[in-house]
Amino acid sequence: MAQLKISNEWWTAPTEAQNGNTILVTGRRNLDEVKATGKFIYRIEVTWTYEPDAKGMPSYKTSLLMEQVREALETCFSKDPVAVNTGIYTGDGERNWVFYTRSLHIFQRKFNEALAQFEALPLSFYAEEDPDWEEYAELLKTEITEGID
**Domain 10-140 class in CATH:** alpha beta
Query: What confidence category does residue 111 fall into, taking pLDDT thresholds of 50, 70 and 90?
Result: very high
Q: Give residue limits of the domains in the chain.
A: 10-140
Q: Which of 33-42, 104-113, 135-144 has the lowest mean pLDDT?
A: 135-144
Q: What is the torsion angle, in degrees rounded to the nearest 10, for the CA atoms of residue 103, residue 140, residue 98 and residue 22?
A: -170
pLDDT surpasses 50 at 92: yes
pLDDT reported for residue 25: 95
- Cβ count near 57 (within 10 Å): 20
Task: Give CA–CA dist 61/95, Å, rounded.
Answer: 14
The average confidence (pLDDT) of the chain is: 92
Ramachandran angles phi, psi of 94, nearest 5°: -145, 145
pTM: predicted TM-score of the whole model, two decimal places = 0.92
pLDDT one-digit tens code per residue, 8-39: 999 999 998 888 889 999 999 999 999 999 99
